[in-house]
Each structure stands twice: as C-alpha cells, then as structure tokens.
Amino acid sequence: MGLAPRGAGCASAANPRLPGAGRLKYADIDNAVKRIKLKLAPGVETEFVDRDRALGQVVEWAEKSTRFPVVVFGPEGCGKSAFLRQAAEALGEFGFDVVYVDAAHRDFVAYTDVAEVARRLFDAASDVSGLAQLKLAYLAVDLVKELIGRWGRRRVAVLVDEVFQAVGLDKAGIYVKSLLNLIEYPPRSYERIVAVAATSEGVSRSEIGRHRWAELTPMWNMPREGFQQLYEKLPGPKPPFEEVWRLAGGNPGMLSRLYLTGWNSGAVVTWLIREKGLTPDFIARWRGWLERVVEDPEALWSPDAPEELIRQLVERNLILYNIYEREQIFWVDQPPPERDPELGVGRDVAWQTPLHREAVRRVLEAV
C-alpha cells in the first residue's frame, strides 16, 4: 500500500514539461510520454509496455476534454489500473493538474503544485476508521472541483480506480453523475477536463449503463505483441510463449500469476476455482449450460440462455457479456478479435481469459 504522496509536484500546470497536447499524434507517443514503472510481480519491475492506441486516446482526451466521464471496464487483470496510472503521468506531462485515486488499494498520485491536494489525499488514505476508501473516492472529485474553483487551474484531470465498490455499487451511477457535474457545471470556467473511472466489477457496468451519464468503454487483454514484450521481461526458465498466450490470452494479471506459481497453470486454475466460488452445487445447477459455454461462450447469447446464469458469470468476473462492436472508437486500445475459439472469445460473449474457462471446465469434469 503506497501511502506516500508520490506524485506531488511531479509536473504541474504552472510548470508543464510540454507546452500542450495539441500537436501530438499517435506516432509521437513514444517520444512524448514517459512510460511509468510498474511492478509485474514481486521483484519484477517493467515499464508500461505497448497500449499505444490507448495512449493516443489519452492525447485525444487532453486535446478535446472528455464530454462524458469515461468508464473503463474489462477483464480482471487486463491492465486497467496500469493504464490509468500511465494516463495520469501523461496528462501531468501535458500540463494538467491530475488527481489519481485507487480507492480499493488506498493509493493515490497527484500531479500538481498545490501541496494541499497531496496532503488531503494522504490524510484520507491514512484514515483508520474504515472509511479511507470512501473518503478517497469522494475527495478526488472534491479536490478537482477545488483545483478549478479555488486554485483557478484550467486543465484538470480526475482518474479514479475501483471507486464503485468503495461508494457502494448501488451508488455507482450517482458517483458518475458527480463526475459529469464537474464537466458540465464547473465552479469556474476551465480549458480542458478529463474524467476517467475504471472498474473490474461486471455489475457496476449495468448500474452505470442504466443512465446516460457516462461513456462506458471496454478494454480488452493485451494484443499479442505487447503481451510478448511483457513475457520476455520475466526472468528464469519459462514455457514457450505460444503456450503462455493460450493460457492467459494476453492478460497481464494472469501472466503474473503464472510466473508466481512457477508456471504451474494447474495451481492458477485451483486458485480461480476457489476465488470464483465454483462450488459443486453451482456447477450441478448449471451443468448443461456450462458444458455448452466452455465449448463456445456465444451459447449464452441465445434467447433461451438463463438470465440468472449470465448474471452469476458476470458477477464472478468469469465472462464479458454483450461485447461491443469491434470498432476502435468504442474501445480503449485495440478491441479483441471478432472470434477466437481457442481463447474463448465469441462475438458477443467471451471468457475473460482461457484460464477462467479452464477453471469451469475442471470443475465440470470433477463433479
């Protein structure tokens, strides 16, 4: 848990490292943005790799503002938090005052020379009364409001990670509305504003989707080349890349787990079975359907697929349901392929990773 105000003053609106984002194009990304350091596993640090298109989208947000809060959702471990942190760094470099909060991990980064911002985030994160997560979630919005209203900052960004669990899933919609209010009714005029939230909660998507307050934007696992770059960074003997790709399907979180278990995919599957509550009674109840779904997730798209099963699979973060059209404009970074039976990707429904599918398959065989 990094409670230190790590980013305070890294780059500020008063002292931007770049004159502005206006002229940046995708091709310039590599030169323009410093890639942050991330921990892939204990003792393994890497730079933020690949995701060039996603970074290009950050440039677009910096140029135009986000008209609605962008809510990024996608498979667990696909790299949403890494992306948000990298976006915070990029926006800081573009001269934005940035508040990034990871409520679930009581972590934050502030890029601003208003010292009070980091101090208040630090206080909230250090709260011992059990309210730290809730306080951080709301403080992020309040601070950005103050950066505009009280401190007269004209380029601001608020990036919030895993806040919906903190405020309560039933209030996810209202929380997003508060971000929208910031965009539409700021306490003072501003030049640019960027508001992005990330969530791995499958269910928060439906709560937010009920309103028209957000731009729900999915993010998929990493494309093959980027994933291979990450794989290369892991030290020691490892299985061939092809095998790892077929297990993790480009998911860096799963890559990390595989590495940590000494590439023991069986152990990762066991861990998933436990974590996802794949109990014999759950499996017995849905056996017929699950047998079809491990063969082809698209089976769940049929009109007679039980809603209850779909809800349970979404809630457990096993599948992504109702996947968007594969047009770049609807996605953060590259969309998944239209279909990839080997990885468990269907047109409208996909397993989050092949290992998720494997967990269900193993229990089906055992029970």
Ligand X SMILES: Nc1ncnc2c1ncn2[C@@H]1O[C@H](COP(=O)(O)OP(=O)(O)OP(=O)(O)O)[C@@H](O)[C@H]1O
Residue 80 near ligand X by CB under 6 A:
yes
Residue 127 near ligand X by CB under 6 A:
no
Q: Choosing among Mg ion, ligand X, none, which partner's interface includes residue 78 (Cβ < 5 to 8 Å by kind)?
A: ligand X
The full DSSP string for 238-285 is: ---HHHHHHHHTT-HHHHHHHHHTTS-HHHHHHHHHHHTT--HHHHHH
Q: How far apart are CA 96 and CA 92, in angstroms?
A: 5
Backbone angles phi, psi at 292, to 5 degrees: -75, -40
Q: Choosing among Mg ion, ligand X, none, which partner's interface includes residue 25 (Cβ < 5 to 8 Å by kind)?
A: none
Q: How far apart are CA 166 and CA 105, in angstroms?
A: 10
73 or 289: CB nearest Mg ion? 73
38 or 139: CB nearest ligand X? 38
In 136-203, DSSP assigns E strands to 155-161, 192-199
Residue 38 CB coordination number (10 Å): 18
Among positive and negative, which fits the CA dihedral 245, 248, 254, 257?
Answer: negative
* Residue whose entry in the numeric block shows the structure tokens 């990036």: 159
Residue 199 near Mg ion by CB under 5 A:
no
Element containing residue 193 per DSSP (H, E): strand 192-199
Per-residue tokens: 200 = 């791995």
Q: Choosing among Mg ion, ligand X, none, which partner's interface includes residue 193 (Cβ < 5 to 8 Å by kind)?
A: none
Closest approach of ligand X to the CB of residue 44, in Å: 9
Backbone angles phi, psi at 240, to 5 degrees: -55, 150
Residue 77 near ligand X by CB under 6 A:
yes
Residues within window 81-120 making contact with Mg ion, judged by CB under 5 A = 81
Closest approach of Mg ion to the CB of residue 257, in Å: 14
Member of 48, 94, 108, 220 binding ligand X (CB under 6 A) = 48
Residue 24 CB coordination number (10 Å): 22
Residue 12 near Mg ion by CB under 5 A:
no
Residue 120 near ligand X by CB under 6 A:
no
Residues within window 169-208 making contact with ligand X, judged by CB under 6 A = 200
Closest approach of Mg ion to the CB of residue 31, in Å: 28
For helices 172-184 and 202-209, give the axis angle rounded to 10 degrees: 60
267 or 299: CB nearest ligand X? 267
Q: Are the CB atoms for 198 and 163 separated by under 8 Å?
A: no
- The single-letter DSSP state of residue 111 is E
Residue 249 near ligand X by CB under 6 A:
no
Residue 82 near ligand X by CB under 6 A:
yes
Site string for ligand X, 26-45 (x = CB under 6 A): ------------xxx-----
Which residues contact ligand X (rule: CB under 6 A)?
38-40, 46, 48-51, 76-82, 200, 230, 252-253, 256
Which residues contact Mg ion (rule: CB under 5 A)?
80-81
